[in-house]
Structure 1
Amino acid sequence: MKMNKKQFVTAAIIGVFALSTAACSGAAAGRTPAAPQPAAQVEDGKGAATIAAYNTLAGKRGVRAAELLAALDAGIRTVSRNEATAMIVAAEAAQKRDLPGLEEKLAGEGLQRKIGELYRNGIDLDKAGDIGDAELREALIEVRDGGYRLDTAEGMYFPVIDYGRYRQYRGLVTADLAAYIDLMAVESDRAPAKDAALVIGWDEMIRRALAQENFLRTFEDSPRARDVKSLYGRYLSFIFYGANNTPLFAYDNKTMSAEARTAYAAAAGTGDSRLAARLKEYLGLLATKGYRLDAEVEEFRKQAVSDLGD
């Protein structure tokens, strides 16, 4: 099996601190997201020294995500909100950059077998240093220290960025990054689909998509908007089509999933969501079709995904 590799950010890391100042905490007129708690106050000069050292490290050729995360953990509480935001942005960029190499390393047959044996019994990465097998110990320490967690699909084990580790810092960063952390932590905690099947309920699928839509409406100018828009597009496809092994309409009789129909009805027309409004229209059309897929329904959902994803 060939694993899909996530696209990674190719921005210059030294310049990321300037980029972070564009994070638009107040981008959405008339909307006031829950404000993060103020960063801890520190003695004059300490924050400046921290960010200068972090900037130097981030600009170092070949710097690893693990190095940036260690420096971030040690110093993020001493800097301003914008600087804390920049530190996390730089660390995430390094994680994305390092991820393909780590995926390739773990993909070896020997390591896959060892990881599988351990995974089935429950892996605690915090105890990776206690593992006797040197090859496995080194690999899992790299996963842990690089800010990843292990996931599995189609019989393979692979690393994913553990956005949950950033939750502890959401009160120190700009509002858009805090909201982004919330969205991405949900994804890394539990993927929506595996092995060509949905592994979360239709109701949860729609809730996540509505949260993503709200981010894009509230923080439309955020540097994180592009990533969230890509994620939202994936969810739109799931909502209107399902997955190969969990289709929205049954392959044999073309009838809509009963669970999906219930979830659609619960969300349809709620709030000022474009997605909710389109679900209401969709249900109205489906009611006239006996909740079965036909050419008109197919055209509607194709157009809905295109319009909502723009």
Structure 2
Amino acid sequence: MKLYKALLPLLMVLIMASCVKSPDLPKEQKESEGKYYTEFTSMIPEAKNPKELFSYIDQHAGDIPRDDFTKIIIAQINYQDSFLKTFEENYFSQSVQEILYNVLGNDTSKIENGALDIENKEVADLVKATYEYGYRIDMSEGMYFPILDYGVYKKYKEYLNEDALEFIEILSAESDKVPLKDAALVIPYEEVLNRAIRCESFLKKYPGFEGEKFISDLFEKYQAITFYGSNNTPLFDYGTKEMNEKAKEAYQSFVKSIGNENSEFKKNLRLFLEVLAKNGYKLTGEVDDFRDIKAPIKY
């Protein structure tokens, strides 16, 4: 009985605590959850271009819950990607290409926010629209064309969760400096490895992220570049079968570096170098077999 009396106050506290309901979310917050995403996605089928959807995002950015904001950004990127397939056809005419070449030559960096001194109104409007729609102009194999400019999403960083912010930073690096031009590698091998690691780390850190496929595709691309090279920058010389010397130096330095020891990519690269060393750093059947098993081309 004494023990029961001693425990009674504690039991009463626990009972009272269990009866206290968790505070309800403010009515406004409840109503906003999912509201903006639903509104945004309902606009997509009728949208004439990405600019219309950017206007909605800009107007409501400060009110949209962070999780919904991430979903909206991914939906907008998907829409831009889809819209680009039709929009880029505006660049395919010879007259547009000639006018752009007369203004740009081989230097697309002359363009800043679509501001160019182009006398032809049709082409001037096309360039302006390109940047308003969240694209930028790139050049490869003598052709100008629009690409998605992920950097435009950096202005929303204060509204993004950590995962979405890192997602945008990874993709922005891709559009700020594309890895390949004219099927040739135009970034250092060190950068290829760093981008691959960053993609792999993101996929491990944020499984199931809304825009996971974008990062997964990038990772596959950088694995392909790492283990195979590209058409005009092959990892192994087409004639001698010898490994690219710059790649060899970068890979050896990378596997010796501290960090990322749990990376499957780094482990496979270390094993790859061991196989290469046994084969005099030349492309042989054994080297090719290793790639088929550890780094099959998916990209």
TM-score (ref. length: structure 1): 0.78
Query: What residue is the counterpart of 2:290 in the other structure?
Result: 300
Q: How does 1:228-247 map to 2 (within 5 A)?
A: 228-247=215-234
Q: How does 1:83-162 map to 2 (within 5 A)?
A: 83-120=68-105, 122-126=109-113, 128=115, 131-162=118-149
After alignment, is 238-247 or 260-269 more displaced?
Answer: 260-269
Shift of 1:163: 0.2
Shift of 1:166: 0.7
Q: How does 1:58-69 map to 2 (within 5 A)?
A: 58-69=43-54
Shift of 1:93: 2.0
Q: Within 2, Cα distance between the matches of 1:130 and 1:67?
A: 26
Task: Give the conservation status (yes or no) of the 8 Å contact 2:183–2:230.
Answer: yes
Q: Name which structure has the greater RCO, CA cutoff 8 Å, separation 6+.
A: 1
Are 1:168 and 2:162 matched, yes or no?
no
After alignment, is 95-104 or 62-71 more displaced?
Answer: 62-71
- After TM superposition, the runs of 4+ consecutive aligned structure 1 residues lying more than 6 A away are 43-50
Are 1:276 and 2:266 matched, yes or no?
yes
From 251, 254, 272, the equivalent of 1:264 is: 251
**Cα 1:48/1:250, change in 2 over 3 Å:** closer
Task: Give the conservation status (yes or no) of the 8 Å contact 2:241–2:283.
Answer: yes
Q: Within 2, Cα distance between the matches of 1:162 and 1:62?
A: 19
Q: Within 2, Cα distance between the matches of 1:49 and 1:277?
A: 42
Q: Within 1, Cα distance between the matches of 2:290 and 2:38?
A: 54
Shift of 1:261: 0.9
SS at match of 2:241: coil
Task: Give the conservation status (yes or no) of the 8 Å contact 2:241–2:282.
Answer: yes
SS at match of 1:250: coil
SS at match of 2:209: coil
Shift of 1:178: 1.6
Structure 2 unaligned segments of length 5 or more: list them.
1-27
How many equivalent pairs are there?
A: 267
**Cα 1:111/1:274, change in 2 over 3 Å:** same
From 56, 77, 86, the equivalent of 2:62 is: 77
Deviations 1:154-200 (A, max 9, x none): 11111011001111223312332222111111111111111121111
Deviations 1:124-174 (A, max 9, x none): 343538643211111012101110000010111110110011112233123
After alignment, is 81-90 or 102-111 more displaced?
Answer: 81-90
Task: Give the conservation status (yes or no) of the 8 Å contact 1:76–1:87.
Answer: no
The amino acid across from 1:95 in the alignment is Q
TM-score (ref. length: structure 2): 0.81
Shift of 1:83: 2.4
Shift of 1:122: 4.6
Q: Within 2, Cα distance between the matches of 1:188 and 1:271?
A: 28
> What is the percentage of aligned positions where both structures have the same residue?
30
Deviations 1:22-78 (A, max 9, x none): xxxxxxxxxxxxxxxxxxxxx989978993895376245244211111221232123
Task: Give the conservation status (yes or no) of the 8 Å contact 1:206–1:239.
Answer: yes
**Cα 1:125/1:66, change in 2 over 3 Å:** farther
Are 1:195 and 2:182 matched, yes or no?
yes
Q: Within 2, Cα distance between the matches of 1:129 and 1:75?
A: 31
Shift of 1:86: 2.5
**Cα 1:284/1:51, change in 2 over 3 Å:** same
Between structure 1 and structure 2, the one with the greater Rg is: 2
**Cα 1:161/1:63, change in 2 over 3 Å:** same
Are 1:183 and 2:177 matched, yes or no?
no
Query: What residue is the counterpart of 1:34 in the other structure?
Result: none
**Cα 1:74/1:123, change in 2 over 3 Å:** farther
Shift of 1:85: 1.4
From 199, 202, 213, the equivalent of 1:212 is: 199
Across the aligned residues of Structure 1 and Structure 2, the Cα RMSD in angstroms comes to 2.7
